[in-house]
Structure 1
Amino acid sequence: MSSKLKVLLTILVILVLSVSGCTIAYQIENNIIIKKATPIGIEYFKSEYDVTVEFTDSQVFDGYVYPKVNLYGYVNNDINEKVSISINYNTYEVENVGGPKWLFQLE
């Protein structure tokens, strides 16, 4: 094997390992954000609307776009009653809530 080919393969291996390492670190960071935000979202729905929710999906935005995590789920074991909540992951404050109309009606 020529020395040029060895150098090229070495650079390629280093590049692939670097990219995969960054991807793993990104996923770990996102999982930490989701694990911190989930109990905040559950407690928010419980304290503000007196409902139990379960989150089944999430979306973490990059900090340079907007430091926000969206959690998606449903109310009281009814998958047809969908809810969502946006939480700023720098402050862990609730910024936006979505759900069925009956949830937001004043009594």
Structure 2
Amino acid sequence: MNRKLRVLLIVLASCILLIGGCAITYHVKNSNIVKKATPIGLEYFKKEYNVDVEFTDSQVFAGYVSSKVILYGHIKGHENEAINIWINYNTYEVENVGGPEWLLEKGEKNISPKYKL
């Protein structure tokens, strides 16, 4: 193998390792954000709406877009009743809640724009 080909392979392998390492770091960071936000979301729905919920999916926005994590799920026992909660992952304050109209109307008096455990 000539010298140019070896150098090219080494550079290519280095780039692949660097990109792979960044992807793993990004995934771990997002996973930690979701783990920290989940109990806050569970407690919020229990305290404000007196319902137990189960989160089944999440979306973490990059900090330069918006410092938010959205947890998606449903009310336990009502699997067709989708809910979501937006939490700022810098402050871990609840910023927005979505769900069925009957649930949101029930808790309207108790909603505070910022909620933090």
Quickly name the TM-score band, shorter chain normalised: over 0.9
Runs (4+) off by over 6 Å:
none
Partner of 1:79: 79
Report deviation, 1:60.
Answer: 0.3
| Counterpart amino acid of residue 104 in structure 1 | L
Over the aligned positions, Cα root-mean-square deviation in angstroms equals 1.0
1:10 equivalent in alignment to 2:48:
no
Q: Which runs of 5+ in 1 are unaligned?
A: none
Structure 2: segments with no counterpart, 5+ residues: 108-117
Residues 63-84 of structure 1, C-alpha deviations (whole Å, 9 max, x = no match) = 0111100000000232101100
Identity fraction in percent: 60
Q: Which moved more, 1:97-106 or 1:51-60?
A: 97-106
Q: TM-score of the superposition, structure 2-length normalised? A: 0.89
Counterpart contact for 1:70–1:84, Cα < 8 Å: yes
**Count of aligned residue pairs for this structure pair:** 107
- TM-score normalized with structure 1 length: 0.97
CA distance in 1, matches of 2:86, 2:80: 20
